[in-house]
Structure 1
């Protein structure tokens, strides 16, 4: 997990804990306190959902970028291998031509 994700989770946890403690120690009726707790829980759940969505987006972007980089590198590697293969084939054809010429000379002798 990245530092920014840990920071976000720490802030959310601190906010939730502070809000909960503030509500619990505030002099108010039980029904009002329960209502506030539910509201705070819903707000926290929404914050967590938003943070999770942001984290998911970051992960997807990172993997997408990595995938694109890997595809580019693979394409470059295949292209490079293709050129090297052409060079090897050309060298082998040249060598074969030389061997055929030598073979013709040996057959004439």
Structure 2
């Protein structure tokens, strides 16, 4: 993301500098030069707006992708934890059954 924003800024800066130098060295009248400056500045504003929109769309797309990935990872962890909890409960139930049987034997032996 940083590389693309640096590239966009470099292109815009180069365009602005080139247009300004070209206009200043052009052999036109003052009114024609001012008209060209206005047109160039309007073009530059449009370019900046378009680049900003593209950058915003890239950021939104990346965040959306990361959000979906994170949601999938959380879902996977919850599912995994649920299966592990079921395994632990089953093991504890088996141990409890075993302990009850031993306790029953001890109670009948004590009588």
The TM-score normalised by the length of structure 1 is: 0.94
> Gaps spanning 5+ residues in structure 2: where?
none
Alignment of 1:36-75 (within 5 A): 36-75=36-75
The aligned counterpart of 2:79 is 79
Bigger Cα displacement from structure 2, 49-58 vs 26-35: 26-35
Structure 2 residue aligned with 1:24: 24
Report the TM-score when normalising by structure 2: 0.92
CA distances 1:62-103 after superposition (whole Å, capped 9, x unpaired): 111111111111111110000000000000000110111111
Q: Which residue of 2 aligns with 1:106?
A: 106
Unpaired runs of at least 5, structure 1? none
Please tell me the root mean square deviation across aligned C-alpha atoms, in Å.
Answer: 1.1
User: Following TM superposition, where does structure 1 have runs of at least 4 consecutive aligned residues deviating by more than 2 angstroms?
Assistant: none
